[in-house]
Homo-oligomer: A and B are copies of this chain.
């Protein structure tokens, strides 16, 4: 496989395409505002499932309006007791030569994190609000803005009378912010012969962020996740802390002691025996990869907004800090549920929630073993008669791809045509478990093509999407399919040969090139 250089046709298309996108920006913003107004919060389905369904319907109506075909796949994990949102499958086929053209599948999600004014938003999180060329709203950047951009790419081609250079499939879910419930089962099913994903040749996901505010990047690595819940129980019901304080063994007291043993303050070191066993040693070659990355520690302190509080980071130089975020595990304590701080009571039981971001080659199940052993050892030290239990509520391995794969090269060329510079090739600290799952299930390459900036504050207060990123994002995605369509050779999906054995993966370059089946070697 190889790609061609930009030719006259490309340049003519680029010019009219860019003009179209710029002229229609107010329209894209008003449509994004409609989508943001739909409170598709997936962590509280009891309240918001109808909103997620509404968001799915809204998007499906757009696919139909643009001449695509679509269906809502019932969530495979839904039950009568626990209804779940469906999965949206959409398809736009090229008008000419669709059979011959390759197929790109875009994954995205239409659900969002919760948000309340009280959390510290400066404007209603569900009313898209423009300030200083930024569009503030929950889901603006994570992930409604990027996911919907694909619709506007298709629309632009239609309006400009340019046929799609590839067939485009959309795979949009509504549970991403809550562990993608049902999505893994759906992907496994959809990857089977003659199913929706079976003829997909490349995947693209725009659900992560640039490393900085100004420099675009492509992402070839993600950390995994092991999310733990540790519960301590002292009674069958909550007790009055005045009437009974001093007479019972309190669950919350054991809880804070257990959680206090996990991470060293000051250094961030995870204090769990065996947690580093499977973490690869840093090589000289790997260190070199970090040298040229555009990243500034002082700016980072401003962006994270720790500057005005502590003005201090866990690591003091660029490489150590980026490695702390990308290639070493980290542990965050998220909170304790079951302890209602507004009541002067002794909680009957409480559950501490924390997660560990995993790196290659950490396995969530093995991490579960060392975490459980640690908590059991620490709990035994407390001499508490209370009951403790630990569960791994979701786990996902880290993912590492290769920036020289043609899919990445196409993303890089498209980025360069929009921004006038090659993107940085970066890894990410976050987890998108779906990435490696798609790769494993389909054997096809996945490109992470972030279109939002590092300070977009996904999951946080005042999440935003820069107007410039919205515009340039649509441009990059539009050119990316043109660049990707230039990849020569048979459709990767038409090669149904066996995946490489472990031995074959040892052939120099085979794995690192991202090739997954024999005919690609």
| B357 close to A242 (CB less than 8 A) | yes
Is there a chain B Cβ closer than 8 Å to A89's Cβ?
Answer: no
| A339 close to B336 (CB less than 8 A) | yes
Q: List residues of chain B with CB within 8 A of the CB of A1.
A: none
Q: List residues of chain B with CB within 8 A of the CB of A190.
A: none
Is there a chain B Cβ closer than 8 Å to A289's Cβ?
Answer: no
- Chain A positions 231 through 265: 1 when the CB is less than 8 Å from some CB of chain B, otherwise 0: 00111111111111111111011101101101101
Q: List residues of chain B with CB within 8 A of the CB of A340.
A: 114, 334-335
Give which listed residue, B260, B263, B457, contacts A237 with CB less than 8 A.
B457
Residue on B with the closest CB to A431? B242
Complex formed: what's the CA distance from A313 to B248 in Å? 5
Residues of chain A from 381 to 436 with CB closer than 8 A to chain B in the complex: 382-387, 428-431
Residues of chain A from 31 to 82 with CB closer than 8 A to chain B in the complex: 43-44
Q: How large is the interface on A (under 10, 10 to 19, 20 to 34, 35 or more residues)?
A: 35 or more
Give which listed residue, B233, B236, B309, B351, contacts A236 with CB less than 8 A.
B309
Complex formed: what's the CA distance from A313 to B236 in Å? 14
Complex formed: what's the CA distance from A113 to B239 in Å? 13
Is there a chain B Cβ closer than 8 Å to A272's Cβ?
Answer: no
Q: List residues of chain B with CB within 8 A of the CB of A429.
A: 242-247
Give which listed residue, B265, B321, B336, B382, contacts A249 with CB less than 8 A.
B265
| B209 close to A309 (CB less than 8 A) | no
Report A198 CB to chain B, min CB distance, Å. Answer: 31
Secondary structure of the A contact surface, majority rule? loop
- Chain A positions 306 through 326: 1 when the CB is less than 8 Å from some CB of chain B, otherwise 0: 101111111100000100110
Q: List residues of chain B with CB within 8 A of the CB of A344.
A: 225, 227, 332, 334, 355, 459
Residue on B with the closest CB to A321? B247
Complex formed: what's the CA distance from A332 to B343 in Å? 11
Q: List residues of chain B with CB within 8 A of the CB of A495.
A: none
Complex formed: what's the CA distance from A460 to B234 in Å? 14
Mind listing 9 A-B residue pairs with CB under 8 Å?
A247-B315, A249-B313, A252-B332, A253-B333, A265-B383, A265-B384, A266-B382, A309-B386, A334-B339
Q: Please name the 10 residue pairs, one residue from A and one from B, whose CB atoms are nearest each other, closest first.
A: A242-B430, A335-B341, A246-B330, A266-B383, A335-B339, A245-B330, A312-B385, A236-B305, A246-B324, A260-B260
